[in-house]
Amino acid sequence: MTTALELFDDVLPRLLAAQKDVCAKLGGAYAVKLTGDGGGTWTIDFKTASVQKGVTKRADLTLEISGDDFVRMMHGALDVIASLKSGRIKIHGDGKKIGNLAVLFAPMSS
């Protein structure tokens, strides 16, 4: 399975480029804070269809999740609703924007 670093360095930039028009319409900046092995912080900017290491701008939504759970989520192997309810995934900011991330990740889980 892909590592979180591979997702942010390679896969997500390609997904953003492939869905640039959709992402531009949805908009928003998303900070992802990964804990544990492969942890780190990245900003996904839908407006510019880019991914950058660190928190580079004010995020509309911040997602806190372990690196392993993030990889599982990206591959459709994590129950996001149950993980939110149990606290395995924490979100801060505009919770309605979590659906925008699902649009980006959908091609990976099919």
Spell out the domain ranges in the chain: 4-104
Contact 44, 14 (CB under 8 A): no
Question: 51-74: per-residue pLDDT in tens?
Answer: 999 988 799 999 999 988 988 887
Sorting pLDDT into bands at 50, 70 and 90, what band is 46?
very high
Q: How many CB atoms lie within 10 A of CB 65?
A: 25
**Predicted confidence (pLDDT) per residue in 73-105, tens digit:** 878 888 988 999 999 999 999 988 888 887 777
Quote the tokens at residue 45: 């900017």
Chain-wide mean pLDDT for the chain?
88
pLDDT exceeding 70 applies to what percent of the chain? 95
Residues 68 and 23: their CA atoms lie apart, in Å, by 25
pTM score, whole prediction: 0.87
Query: Architecture of domain 4-104 in CATH?
Result: 2-Layer Sandwich (3.30)
